[in-house]
């Protein structure tokens, strides 16, 4: 060893009293919380467990899930169009998308939901025909069209589209303009260049905030309870309005929301890993898991045999 003690291999970490004190404090507080959760009879864990598995809560959870999924898909599709329009050189498209985003981001979701639900008060009939009071080809009663379900999907999807448009636009801007230029130079139309070259690379920047949006969406669906849509929160509320087991039922809702968002976090990690291909240094758990799976399946993968043959040739 170095006699002067300069060799960094021998360097030690200073013992940090502050760090250890902080750890002790955190441990004590955590123990207090657990103690509170376990010993406070007002949580009524038995009731929580019973309702946690109740079929009515399961149906409500299902409503929440597919409402979030449908609204997210519709919102994302519309968001892609808005993002592309917002970035287009066409002033008309650009302006229209700008106004849309301005309006739907600028007003509370709750207000939009109530507004769509009460659309009939503003517009009793919806039809297709000659505008400005001309004859109608077909016409529907707004009250028939706008149910809690359609109002919820309209409200959530249209609102989501405004946010997703900005998320997607940010992703598209993160891709080197040279990529688009090369695609165009090789004879791709702008639509094809977007689909094949720009969007796939924008996904890396789009996925993390989209995960945020999806998790927000799952929770935002709770706002449809104001228009009598039987989602998780609405159902939980209607139960405790009857039984007065307010806290246990709210905990049931909290647990289910946490479970769903946790699963989404894991899914997001896998999707991020998929779109990280082409980048060096893609570590992280999903990458490890996928490599293991691939190793086990071996040459069964499409495309893998080619590599095998080549390596065989060289050997």
- Distance CA(60)–CA(229), nearest Å, equals 9
Find the shortest distance in angstroms from Cβ 199 to other proteins. Answer: 10
When asked if residue 201 is in the footprint of other proteins (CB under 8 A), the reply is yes
- Distance CA(169)–CA(91), nearest Å, equals 16
**Which of 302-308's residues contact partners 24+ apart within 8 Å by CB, and which partners?**
none
When asked if residue 31 is in the footprint of other proteins (CB under 8 A), the reply is no
Pairing of strands 125-129, 136-141: antiparallel
Of 77, 268, 66, the residue nearest 161 (C-alpha): 77
- Answer for which of 133, 178, 298, 312 binds other proteins (CB under 8 A) is 178
- Distance CA(180)–CA(196), nearest Å, equals 10
* Residue entry with tokens 């690379």: 201
Q: Which is nearer to other proteins, 144 or 181 (CB)?
A: 181
When asked if residue 310 is in the footprint of other proteins (CB under 8 A), the reply is yes
Q: Where does this chain touch other proteins (CB under 8 A) — which range of 75-83, 107-115, 158-166, 273-281?
A: 273-281
When asked if residue 184 is in the footprint of other proteins (CB under 8 A), the reply is yes
79 and 209 Cβ atoms separated by less than 8 Å: no
Express the helix, strand and coil content of the chain in percent, nearest 5 each: 80, 5, 20
When asked if residue 84 is in the footprint of other proteins (CB under 8 A), the reply is no
When asked if residue 186 is in the footprint of other proteins (CB under 8 A), the reply is yes
When asked if residue 182 is in the footprint of other proteins (CB under 8 A), the reply is yes
Tokens of 249: 């039922």
- The phi, psi pair for 48, rounded to 5°, reads -55, -50
When asked if residue 7 is in the footprint of other proteins (CB under 8 A), the reply is no
When asked if residue 188 is in the footprint of other proteins (CB under 8 A), the reply is yes
Find the shortest distance in angstroms from Cβ 161 to other proteins. Answer: 25
- Distance CA(172)–CA(208), nearest Å, equals 14
Q: Return the CA Rg of the chain.
A: 27
When asked if residue 189 is in the footprint of other proteins (CB under 8 A), the reply is yes
- Answer for which of 39, 280, 295, 312 binds other proteins (CB under 8 A) is 280
- Answer for which of 33, 111, 176, 293 binds other proteins (CB under 8 A) is 176
Q: Where does this chain touch other proteins (CB under 8 A) — which range of 90-98, 149-157, 176-184, 264-272?
A: 176-184
Q: Which residues bind other proteins (CB under 8 A)?
A: 176, 178-179, 181-192, 196-197, 200-201, 275, 277-280, 307, 310, 314
């Amino acid at each position: 060893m170095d006699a002067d003690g300069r060799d960094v291999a021998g360097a030690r970490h200073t013992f940090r009293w502050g760090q250890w004190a902080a750890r002790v404090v955190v441990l004590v507080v955590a123990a207090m919380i657990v103690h509170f959760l376990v010993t406070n009879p007002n949580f009524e864990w038995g009731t929580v467990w019973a309702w946690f598995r109740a079929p009515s809560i399961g149906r409500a959870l299902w409503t929440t899930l597919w409402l979030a999924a449908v609204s997210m898909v519709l919102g994302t599709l519309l968001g892609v169009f808005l993002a592309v329009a917002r970035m287009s050189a066409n002033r008309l498209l650009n302006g229209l998308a700008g106004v849309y985003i301005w309006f739907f981001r600028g007003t509370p979701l709750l207000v939009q939901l109530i507004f769509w639900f009460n659309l009939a008060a503003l517009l009793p009939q919806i039809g297709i025909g000659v505008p400005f009071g001309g004859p109608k080809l077909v016409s529907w009663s707004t009250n028939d069209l706008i149910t809690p379900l359609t109002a919820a999907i309209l409200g959530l999807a249209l609102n989501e589209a405004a946010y997703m448009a900005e998320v997607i636009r940010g992703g598209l801007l993160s891709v080197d303009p040279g990529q688009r230029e090369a695609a165009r130079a090789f004879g791709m139309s702008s639509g094809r260049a977007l689909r094949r070259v720009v969007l796939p690379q924008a996904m890396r920047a789009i996925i993390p905030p989209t995960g945020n949006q999806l998790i927000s969406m799952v929770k935002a669906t709770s706002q449809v309870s104001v228009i009598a849509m039987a989602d998780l929160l609405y159902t939980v509320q209607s139960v405790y309005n009857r039984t007065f087991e307010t806290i246990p039922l709210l905990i049931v809702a909290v647990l289910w929301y946490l479970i769903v968002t946790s699963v989404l976090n894991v899914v997001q990690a896998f999707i991020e890993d998929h779109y990280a291909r082409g980048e060096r240094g893609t570590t992280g758990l999903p990458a490890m898991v996928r490599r293991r799976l691939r190793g086990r399946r071996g040459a069964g993968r499409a495309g893998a045999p080619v590599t095998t043959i080549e390596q065989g040739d060289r050997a």
